[in-house]
């Protein structure tokens, strides 16, 4: 995973240009605020800070992993998502009605379908905005369309954003001010900015019709199981969808607490889920003999822990 440091005086500029060293050309810009500078409070100190770009949900075998549990998370002045959120999927690529595709969709759809009021999501409530408003820890699943390769089988970050945008324009997705839109790609789809090599999911923002659209990308880890599904078969009998369920809850946690990349993160640019990826806490044995640590509805899952802040710094946990 690549992490680049930024002088504090360049924090605002980096939000639009992506992560880059002073005097160097920026990397591909994250989709944040369509070129408009958001308010950002660095916390002062004049030291070097790495800003999140939404791509820090790290791969399992990063040769140079960040110090995930070393630094506290800080609030940088931006919004958090404080109401009930509606999540919509765009099933991108090959999602025909064969048994494997149906099973993968069911495994992933169960997660947001039973995501309201869980002890797991109450950990979000520690991440308040500047008025003290906290996320409610509740997401409602709104379904979503199948998009059969409208942008081809190889996607850039800009393509992912445009997949969401075009489905909003066509009316296949509602423009929902409380919405989170996740492009879920089949295993034959490549995301060229680093899926499976530097990250397992990512999120960003763009504006549409004058309103913010918070969105993410989630690829099936079957494409690179070594880095994004290292535990092998999961409690639901799949490799990719079981692993993607953990990336999905991490992705949603990062979006809710840092929707515009100006909310909560540590000085390395890690958001609350990024700090605890690949940690699971106490596990149990599911019916198929695989490890699990959580039940959504009638299904067992092995999902990552989340960072719970404290006066001493914080820790990775499965509940507050």
Q: What is the pLDDT of residue 97?
A: 77
Where b means 16+ CB within 10 Å and e means fewer, 32-67 reads bbeeeebebebeeeeeebbbbbbbbbbbbebeeebe
Closest C-alpha to 51, from 90, 107, 8: 8
Closest C-alpha to 314, from 69, 123, 25, 115: 69
**Backbone angles phi and psi of 129, in degrees to 5:** -90, -175
Name the region of 43 (left: φ>0; alpha: ψ -120 to 50; beta: rest).
Answer: left
The predicted-structure confidence for 210-234, as pLDDT tens digits, reads as follows 999 999 999 999 999 999 999 999 9
Under 8 Å between Cβ of 33 and 205 = yes
The predicted-structure confidence for 89-146, as pLDDT tens digits, reads as follows 999 999 987 778 889 999 999 998 878 878 899 999 999 999 999 999 999 999 999 9
Cα–Cα distance between 261 and 17 in angstroms, integer?
Answer: 13
The rounded mean pLDDT for the chain is: 85
pLDDT band at 71 (very low <50, low <70, confident <90, very high): very high
Contacts of 84 (CB under 8 A, 6+ apart): 116, 136, 138, 139, 140, 178
Angle between the N-to-C axes of helices 240-257 and 99-113, in degrees from 0 to 180, rounded to the nearest 10: 30
Contacts of 58 (CB under 8 A, 6+ apart): 1, 65, 66, 198, 199, 200, 274, 277, 278
Is the per-residue pLDDT at 23 higher than 50? no
User: Is residue 180 helix, strand or coil?
Assistant: strand
Contacts of 95 (CB under 8 A, 6+ apart): 101, 105, 146, 148, 186
Q: What is the pLDDT of residue 47?
A: 59
Under 8 Å between Cβ of 58 and 287 = no
Cα–Cα distance between 9 and 92 in angstroms, integer?
Answer: 39
Question: Looking at the chain, which runs of residues are DSSP E strands?
Answer: 6-7, 48-49, 74-75, 85-92, 139-141, 146-147, 154-155, 179-185, 190-191, 201-208, 211-219, 264-265, 284-285, 291-292, 294-296, 299-301, 306-308, 315-317
Is the per-residue pLDDT at 245 higher than 70? yes
Cα–Cα distance between 134 and 263 in angstroms, integer?
Answer: 12
């Amino acid at each position: 995973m690549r992490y680049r440091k930024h002088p504090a005086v360049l924090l605002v500029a980096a939000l639009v240009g992506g992560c880059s060293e002073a005097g160097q050309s920026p990397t591909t810009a994250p989709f944040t605020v369509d070129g408009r500078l958001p308010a950002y409070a660095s916390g002062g100190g004049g030291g070097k800070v790495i800003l999140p770009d939404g791509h820090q949900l790290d791969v399992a075998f990063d040769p140079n992993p960040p110090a995930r549990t070393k630094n506290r998370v800080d609030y940088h002045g931006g919004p958090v998502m404080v109401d009930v959120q509606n999540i919509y999927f765009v099933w991108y690529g090959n999602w025909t009605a064969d048994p494997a595709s149906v099973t993968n969709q069911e495994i992933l759809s169960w997660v947001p379908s039973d995501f309201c009021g869980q002890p797991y999501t109450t950990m979000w409530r520690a991440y308040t905005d500047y008025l003290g408003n906290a996320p409610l820890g509740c997401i409602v699943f709104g379904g979503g369309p199948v998009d059969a390769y409208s942008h081809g089988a190889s996607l850039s970050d800009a393509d992912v954003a445009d997949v969401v945008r075009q489905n909003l324009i066509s009316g296949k997705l509602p423009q929902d001010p409380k919405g989170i839109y996740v492009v879920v790609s089949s295993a034959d789809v490549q995301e060229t900015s680093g899926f499976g090599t530097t990250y397992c999911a990512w999120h960003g923002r763009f504006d549409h019709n004058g309103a913010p659209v918070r969105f993410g990308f989630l690829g099936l880890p079957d494409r690179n199981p070594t880095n994004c599904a290292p535990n092998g078969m999961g409690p639901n009998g799949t490799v990719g969808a079981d692993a993607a369920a953990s990336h999905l809850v991490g992705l949603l946690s990062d979006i809710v607490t840092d929707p515009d990349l100006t909310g909560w993160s540590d000085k390395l640019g890690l958001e609350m889920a990024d700090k605890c990826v690949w940690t699971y806490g106490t596990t149990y044995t599911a019916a198929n003999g695989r490890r699990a640590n959580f039940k959504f509805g009638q299904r067992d899952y092995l999902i990552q822990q989340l960072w719970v802040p404290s006066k001493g710094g914080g820790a990775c946990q499965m509940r507050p």
